[in-house]
């Protein structure tokens, strides 16, 4: 069974700081998605990465997919309080269900 | 241009009662997925349905839980004889087809079930 470990588990930073969160797998991803979930809401899809070595940017967010497709990172530049939330990576298993990582809880204080 | 809709948003039940959770997928989406998020745990897949068919129920508990997606109307997740351990957030997601290469799913706001 695919295991997706995310680190760090919790992250508390000040507005304006940069941060990176990681998603690692015990085996190769077919494709990987990143979601953000705010308290009391459902996850919202941020990006899908498919190709090893791929880099995608979404405003201040940069997503990287490892060359071997077993890890991924999310880098946020100049974090803002609105970035606060639970960041989840998820793999498309190819059988229609998503397998989610353990999540990183981010708190950005003004 | 409504997204995935779930109701109720909050549901309180006493032990032994039944809980019915509803999900209306996005317009044009015919594939529905249910996930459960227990306190301090990640999202776990429960079941995948298409209209009138259960495709994959490998994540559903063997007893007390059932799901349907009728030809007309919302998808229903039903929990019979609820126990305190069923307290969780239940999320529904939908996709327009069999996920394509990326299986991008769009999530609803969830139903938070509390069992007293």
Search chain B and give the residue with CA nearest A51.
B102
What pLDDT sits at residue A97? 83
Per-residue pLDDT reduced to its tens digit, B81-104? 999 999 999 999 998 865 555 668
Search chain A and give the residue with CA nearest B31.
A96
Question: Are B102 and A48 within 8 A, CB to CB?
Answer: yes
Per-residue pLDDT reduced to its tens digit, A5-64? 999 999 999 999 999 999 998 888 888 899 999 988 999 999 998 888 899 999 999 999
What pLDDT sits at residue A95? 64
pLDDT exceeds 80 at position A108: yes
pLDDT exceeds 80 at position B40: no
Residue A20 CA to its chain's centroid (Å): 9
Where does residue A9 fall: left (phi above 0), alpha (psi -120 to 50 degrees), or beta otherwise?
Answer: alpha
| CB nearest A97 (choices: B48, B98, B106) | B48
A70 to chain B nearest CA, in Å? Answer: 16
Distance set, CA A107 to CA A38, A73, B45 (Å): 11, 18, 26
Q: Which residue has the higher pLDDT, A2 or B69?
A: B69
């Amino acid at each position: 069974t695919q295991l997706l470990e995310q680190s760090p588990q919790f992250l508390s930073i000040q507005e304006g700081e940069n941060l990176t969160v990681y998603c690692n797998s015990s085996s190769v991803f077919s494709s990987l998605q990143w979601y953000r979930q705010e308290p009391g809401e459902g996850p919202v899809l941020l990006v899908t990465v498919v190709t090893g070595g791929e880099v995608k940017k979404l405003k201040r967010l940069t997503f990287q997919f490892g060359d071997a497709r077993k890890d991924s990172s999310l880098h946020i530049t100049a974090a803002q309080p609105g970035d606060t939330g639970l960041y989840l990576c998820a793999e498309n298993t190819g059988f229609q269900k998503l397998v989610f990582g353990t999540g990183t809880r981010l708190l950005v204080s003004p | 241009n409504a997204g995935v809709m779930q109701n109720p948003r909050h549901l309180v039940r006493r032990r032994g009662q039944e809980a019915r959770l509803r999900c209306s997928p996005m317009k044009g989406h015919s594939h529905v997925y249910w996930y459960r998020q227990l306190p301090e745990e990640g999202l776990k897949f429960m079941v995948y349905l298409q209209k009138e068919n259960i495709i994959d129920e490998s994540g559903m508990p063997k007893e007390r839980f059932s799901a349907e997606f009728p030809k007309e109307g919302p998808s229903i997740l039903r929990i019979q004889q609820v126990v305190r351990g069923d307290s969780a957030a239940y999320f529904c997601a939908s996709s327009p087809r069999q996920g394509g290469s990326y299986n991008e799913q769009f999530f609803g706001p969830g139903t938070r079930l509390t069992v007293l």
